[in-house]
Amino acid sequence: MTQIEKELAGLVKSCAKQYLNQRADKVDWEQRRYEIAVSISNGVVARIGLNAGGREDEVASFAVRFADRLIMQLKAEANRTRSIKLGNHDPRGYDKEGGER
């Protein structure tokens, strides 16, 4: 993992925590994906400079991959949080049916 990827991974975790403090019931995931990808792209461009040296496609692809990863984590965490609120949580890592999560 490159330094940029490490820094953005930290950003992903930070964004996930911030998002979980908000209501997740009615999320427009495509809109969120766009917003996250734009934020990541801005961060990468700020880091490497305005002249990406012909790496625009690489930056765009990277931003979308991170957006997808963040959304996947947000959905998983929202489901886990919802499960805890509904009483389907076992701190040992098992659901009520006895299967591992």
pTM to 2 decimals? Answer: 0.56
Per-residue model confidence as pLDDT tens digits over 39-72 = 998 888 888 776 656 778 888 899 999 999 999 9
pLDDT band at 5 (very low <50, low <70, confident <90, very high): confident
Do 12 and 43 meet the contact criterion of CB atoms below 8 Å apart?
no
Question: Is position 91 within any domain?
Answer: no
Question: Is position 20 within any domain?
Answer: yes
Question: Is position 70 within any domain?
Answer: yes
Return the pLDDT at 24.
53
Q: Which residues face 100 on adjacent strands? A: 94
Residue 54 CA to residue 46 CA, distance in Å, equals 15
- With 80 as the cut, is the pLDDT of residue 74 above it? yes
* Residue span of the structural domain in which 49 resides: 3-85
Tokens of 95: 């659901």
Q: What's the total number of domains in the chain? A: 1
Question: Is position 92 within any domain?
Answer: no
The Cα angle at residue 58 between residues 54 and 59, in degrees rounded to 5: 95
Classify residue 100 by its DSSP letter: B
Do 96 and 88 meet the contact criterion of CB atoms below 8 Å apart?
yes
Question: Is position 93 within any domain?
Answer: no
User: How big is the chain, counted in residues?
Assistant: 101
pLDDT band at 89 (very low <50, low <70, confident <90, very high): low
